[in-house]
Amino acid sequence: MVTKKPQQRLGFKTGEYIVYPSHGVGLITSIEEQEVAGLTLELFVISFEQDKLTLRVPVAKIKSVGMRKLAEEDEVNKALETVTGRARVKRTMWSRRAQEYEAKINSGDLIAISEVVRDLYRSDDQPEQSYSERQLFEQAMDRMSREVAAVNKLTLTEAVQLIEKNLQKSPRRGPKADAADAEEAAA
């Protein structure tokens, strides 16, 4: 049996966009009470329209799953600033880096996600990405753009364009930049 409950719990309310770390931006559609194995649980019903997914999260588990409110505007600006920086790619095996990128994407931390976008971005004049790099980049870009769109009240397309505009401000990585880096490292 499902019954509707008051519309606010732990500072979260229905009709509010939130970030669920492993799924990105979702909308709290309702707060329900449901009986499971003889126990009555209060559940947030969260809709992820982009994935056609509805998640029911026990109110008591919100902290442990890392669900959070959308970032403040200054944090979004900081994330947009992060993507304009120089890519920091560790010189480790790809499988290790891929795991680190995946962990950052699923952390739900907007700044960590923007670092993945920055590090995996390739401009048109740079070498082609591998399939797995492109997949991780697109996943990070999707998460970041959905949150930027929700916070700045933009369409998803406008948010992607805003992020791409900031990515193009980043220092160019090409043969000349790599040579300059090598000289700096030697100094």
C-alpha neighbours within 13 Å on the C-beta side of residue 29: 10
pLDDT tens per residue across span 12-70: 888 999 999 989 999 999 988 888 888 888 999 999 987 789 999 998 888 888 899 99
pLDDT recorded at residue 114: 95
Q: Which of 147, 153, 187 is nearest to 25 (CA)?
A: 147
Question: Bigger pLDDT: 18 or 123?
Answer: 18
Q: Which of 67, 65, 50, 53 is nearest to 145 (CA)?
A: 50
Arithmetic mean of pLDDT over the chain:
85
| Other CB atoms within 10 A of residue 84 CB | 15
pLDDT recorded at residue 172: 62
Q: Which of 59, 53, 1 is nearest to 22 (CA)?
A: 53
- pLDDT-derived band at 165 (thresholds 50, 70, 90) equals very high
Fold (CATH) for 2-69: Thrombin, subunit H (2.40.10)
Q: Measure the CA–CA gap between 105 and 100, rounded to whole angstroms.
A: 9
What architecture is domain 73-175?
Answer: Up-down Bundle (1.20)
Question: Bigger pLDDT: 164 or 177?
Answer: 164
pLDDT recorded at residue 122: 87
Q: Domain coordinates of the chain in residue numbers?
A: 2-69, 73-175
Q: Tell me the Ramachandran region of residue 108: left when phi exceeds 0, alpha when psi lies from -120 to 50, beta otherwise.
A: left
pTM of the model: 0.80
- The residues near 25 (Cβ < 8 Å, ≥ 6 apart) are 17, 18, 19, 48, 70, 143, 146, 147, 150
